[in-house]
């Protein structure tokens, strides 16, 4: 039996997978490239269980070049983005950030967007799998606003570091302690003489950060951060481990566990990605209608499968002989020795402890 991730089918709007600019670095370390977020990223460097332990017990470095990055300049940039995203952009001070969503008028999720406030611009971090559609949508909304949207994706790259030893490793690497940066905050730092922007964030529930750097310095940054985590017993991890770790932490992935087929309350993002005090934005009417109703007819839930077979994305779930929902993603957790996953399940079957059936066995709602 081969453990890892189930074949995960996102719904990319870009047809051919985009290769990470760090391909040579990964291949030199023995990693093969696999498709995640419609990008070719390292799947695994060594043993899956060992990579997960590295992340949980020390510090992991990983490639996050599935991002698309845009900047917004001009005097109307704050008012403009505040009117199109679900997050409270207008109250961000320099060095602060927030996670939000771009919705269509029907309230469906077109993109997940992390905003970073800098002194002369707002920078937006999103997913390359929906890069073209997102950029076109954002450009379309600029009508009378004095705003310039610049796609910086090809100019910039990014690397993540996370784990219990990440704070110490990064303090040595760039002289900044993570606990001095607010959640979702960011700062300009230097790593081995390389100027970059560090964002405090998490991919699997531990202390973590991401670094954004000009593409020509990306390989050198990777090498420096790899050296920093190795000094604390850490190392590189691939997306098989990241998938298992984030499912253990209950963190959904855009394009797999939420996309343009669902609304924020169905996806369980109503407290993490939406401001209810910021004012109007596209899709707000639907969000407020669902909020006032108090529930949705289906909900994203976490699952633990009662067997070792990995269900594919889209696998149908049955309860009491009825169609109960469908799996969105799944992976084997070496720490738990079980297959974990996420799914959308009808409200009446979504209670914790409920047992659902699929073609390969059973799953418990956790």
d(C-alpha 252, C-alpha 205), whole Å: 12
Residue span(s) of the chain under CATH 3.30.1360.120 come to: 1-296
Where are the extended beta strands (E) located within the chain? 18-19, 32-36, 39-44, 60-63, 67-73, 97-103, 109-117, 122-127, 148-151, 156-162, 186-191, 194-200, 208-214, 235-236, 298-305, 316-319, 322-333, 338-346, 355-358, 361-365
Rounded CA separation 84/82 (Å)? 6
**pTM of this prediction exceeds 0.85:** yes
- Give the alpha-carbon dihedral of 204, 210, 215, 219, to 10 degrees: -70
3 confidence band (pLDDT: 50, 70, 90): very low
pLDDT, one tens digit per residue, over 257-293 is 999 999 999 999 999 999 999 999 999 999 999 999 9
The whole-angstrom separation of Cα 129 and Cα 119 is 29
* φ, ψ at 41 (rounded to 5°): -130, 160
pLDDT band at residue 11 using 50, 70 and 90 as cut-offs: very low
Tokens linked to 293: 């109703």
User: What is the rounded distance in angstroms from the CA atom of residue 126 to the CA atom of residue 27?
Assistant: 26
Taking CA atoms, 254 is separated from 30, 84, 135, 144, 352, in Å, by 28, 18, 17, 31, 23
What pLDDT shows up at residue 13? 46
Calculate mean pLDDT across residues 15-27: 94
For CATH 2.40.30.110, the residue range(s) in the chain are: 297-366
Handedness of CA 192, 204, 256, 254 (dihedral sign): negative
Pick the CATH number of 297-366 from 2.40.30.110, 3.40.50.300, 3.40.50.1820, 3.40.50.150: 2.40.30.110
List 34's β-bridge partners, or say none: 41
- Given the candidates 3.40.50.300, 3.30.300.160, 1.10.287.70, 3.30.1360.120, the CATH classification of the domain at 1-296 is 3.30.1360.120
Residue among 255, 247, 258 at smallest CA distance from 300: 258
For residue range 63-107, list pLDDT tens digits in order: 999 999 999 999 999 999 999 999 999 999 999 999 999 999 999
Instruction: Please say if the pLDDT value at position 4 is more than 70.
Output: no
Q: Please state, in angstroms and rounded to a whole number, the distance separating the CA atoms of residues 287 and 319.
A: 29
Looking at the DSSP bridge assignments, the partners of residue 236 are 61
């Amino acid at each position: 039996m081969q453990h890892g991730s189930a074949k995960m089918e996102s719904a990319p709007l870009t047809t051919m997978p985009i290769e990470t600019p760090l391909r040579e670095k990964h291949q030199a370390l023995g990693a093969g490239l696999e498709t995640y977020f419609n990008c070719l990223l390292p799947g695994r460097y060594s043993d899956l269980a060992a990579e997960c332990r590295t992340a949980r017990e020390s510090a992991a470095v990983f490639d996050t070049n599935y991002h698309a990055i845009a900047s917004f300049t001009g005097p109307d940039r704050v008012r403009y983005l505040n009117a199109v995203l679900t997050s409270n952009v207008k109250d961000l001070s320099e060095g602060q950030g927030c996670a939000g969503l771009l919705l269509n008028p029907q309230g469906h999720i077109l993109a997940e967007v992390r905003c970073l406030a800098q002194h002369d611009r707002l920078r937006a971090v999103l997913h390359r799998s929906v890069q073209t559609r997102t950029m076109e949508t954002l450009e379309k909304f600029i009508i009378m606003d004095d705003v310039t949207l610049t796609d910086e994706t090809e100019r910039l790259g990014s690397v993540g570091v996370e784990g219990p030893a990440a704070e110490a490793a990064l303090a040595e690497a760039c002289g900044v302690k993570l606990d001095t940066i607010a959640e979702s905050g960011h700062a300009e730092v230097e790593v081995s003489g390389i100027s970059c922007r560090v964002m405090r964030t998490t991919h699997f529930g531990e202390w973590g950060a991401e670094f954004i750097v000009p593409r020509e310095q990306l390989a050198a940054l990777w090498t420096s951060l790899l050296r920093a985590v190795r000094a604390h017993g850490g190392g590189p991890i691939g997306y098989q481990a990241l998938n298992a770790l984030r499912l253990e932490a209950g963190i959904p992935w855009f394009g797999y566990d939420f996309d343009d087929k669902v609304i924020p309350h169905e996806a369980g993002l109503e407290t993490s990605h939406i401001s209810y005090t910021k004012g109007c934005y596209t899709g707000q009417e639907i969000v407020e209608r669902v909020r006032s109703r108090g529930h949705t007819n289906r909900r994203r839930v976490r699952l633990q499968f009662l067997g070792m077979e990995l269900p594919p994305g889209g696998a149908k779930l049955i309860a009491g002989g009825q169609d109960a929902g469908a799996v969105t993603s799944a992976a084997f957790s070496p720490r738990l020795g079980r297959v974990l996953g996420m799914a959308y399940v009808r409200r009446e079957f979504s209670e914790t402890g409920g047992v659902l059936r699929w073609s390969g066995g059973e799953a418990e709602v956790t």
